[in-house]
Each structure stands twice: as structure tokens, then as C-alpha cells.
Amino acid sequence: MSTNKKPRVLLVEDEGAQREVLTYNLEAEGFEVIVAVTGDDALLLVAEEEPDLILLDWMLPGVSGIEVCRQVKARPETRSIPIIMLSARSEELDRVRGLETGADDYIIKPYSVAELMARLRTQLRRTRPASLGERLVWQDILLDSAEHRVWRSGQQVNLGPTEFRLLTTLMEKPGRVWSRDQLLDRVWGRDIYVDTRTVDVHVGRLRKALMRDGGVDPVRTVRGAGYSLG
């Protein structure tokens, strides 16, 4: 059991039976599933929930899957979320490709669950490697998300579970500036209330642990914005 939060998948599918089967399989594979039935709901949920990946049906009533894809990829804050488009026929798929929607991958229905999961993992390996148990490296820091261990310059660093999740989040996107609220969502989860000052406390502990054997402070405080790694 990983202490990292489960990767969050937004599933956009208007057909109830498809939705149920996919939700069941995704949850069985260890993903947290957020469901949208229409394109409008999907756009709302992308903004509110910041999912790690979107599984998007092409044929939706109202705002189409293509339009959802276009809008997600047009916004700088959501552009990096991988989108896998689901389509009923290969001719549709050719059209989707031709429209240059910016989707990261395409799958034709019916597909095997194993194939879908493999494609999903390929996308997540790129954007959320720690959620799949990969090792992360940044400068002299090595984080093994499967073994829950961290080393700096070859020396093992002891971190509490919260500091470990905090470092994981920072190491997945070096250079990204995280606001305190974004860190609360990612590290603590949005279901519990935690004061934003708690973030500062744990960043302080993380810094102390990482600098115990010397070395520069790897965490940058960005005034009025939050924190980033490097």
C-alpha cells in the first residue's frame, strides 16, 4: 500500500453500462474515479478536481468529446493532463485524429481492459511517475516511491509520511510553483480540513531533513505564490 495518493482519473462517458464497467475496472486497478456524464460536467470537473488523467468518450450529448479535449488542451493550467479518447469505430478515430484535438492517445471500443490499463499507465508514467511506484531523481536527491525511501548524495534521509508525500509531489514536477492550497489537495487530500500554515510547518521539516548532512536548500519559497523544487 502506497502512502501516495491514488491517481485520479476523470471518466467522461454518457452510457451507463460502459461507465459502470470502466469505473469497476479502474477502481480495481487502484485508481480513484471521478465520473462525468456530459461534456459540460467534464469541463467543470477538470477545473475543480485537477484529475491526473481523462478518459474521454468521443460521442457525448451536448458538448462533444472533441470540444472537451480542445478546451482542456487550450488552457495552460489543464494542458498537461493526459487525455485518452474512446471511440466506437475506427472511422471516427480517423476523424478525431484529423481534427487535431491534441488528445494524447486513442482507443477503439470494444477494447480489452488490459490494453486500456497499459495505455493509461503509459500516460501516467510520464506525468505522475511516483503513483506507479517509479524512482524519481532530482539533482542529488533520489526517491524510491515503491520502497518509500529517500537518499541525498547517497545518504539515506528519514522522512515522516507527510514529508515523503510532499517531496514526491515536488519531485514529480521540478520547477513548478505549487500554492499552499494545491499542496493541501495533493498531499493531504481535499476531504479533510487542514490550515494552510500546516504546509509551511511540513515544508520546514522537509528542508531540515534534507539539509541534515549539509547541502543547499532544494525547496524554493516563492513569495506570495508558494513553493517549488529548484
**Interacting residues with Ca ion (CB under 5 A):** 14, 57, 59
Residue 52 Cβ vs Ca ion, minimum distance, rounded to whole Å:
22
Please measure the distance between the N-terminal and C-terminal CA atoms of the chain and give it in whole angstroms: 29
Nearer to Ca ion, 36 or 120 (CB): 36
In the bound state with Ca ion, the residue whose beta carbon lies nearer, of 13 and 172, is 13
Give least dist CB 37 to Ca ion, A. Answer: 10
Q: How near is the Cβ of 15 to Ca ion at its closest, in Å? A: 5
Least Å from the CB of residue 57 to Ca ion: 4
Q: Is the CB of 19 or the CB of 202 nearer to Ca ion?
A: 19
Measure the CA–CA gap between 194 and 223, rounded to whole angstroms.
21
Report which of 102, 85, 110 is spatially closest to residue 11, judged by C-alpha positions: 85
Residue owning grid cell 543547499: 216
Residue number closest to Ca ion, CB atom: 59
Residue among 60 and 159 whose Cβ is closer to Ca ion:
60
CA distance 139 to 76: 27
C-beta of 15 vs 144, nearer to Ca ion: 15
Relative orientation angle of helices 65-74 and 39-49, to the nearest 10 degrees: 30
Nearer to Ca ion (CB atom), residue 55 or residue 159: 55
Contacts of 217 (CB under 8 A, 6+ apart): 207, 210, 211
Residue 152 — φ and ψ, nearest 5°?
Answer: -125, 125
**Which residues, listed in sequence order, are joined to residue 136 by a DSSP beta bridge?**
143
* Nearest distance, CB of residue 9 and Ca ion, angstroms: 17
Name residues whose C-beta falls within 8 Å of residue 114's C-beta, 6 or more positions apart in sequence.
none
- State the nearest-atom distance from the C-beta of 45 to Ca ion, in Å: 17
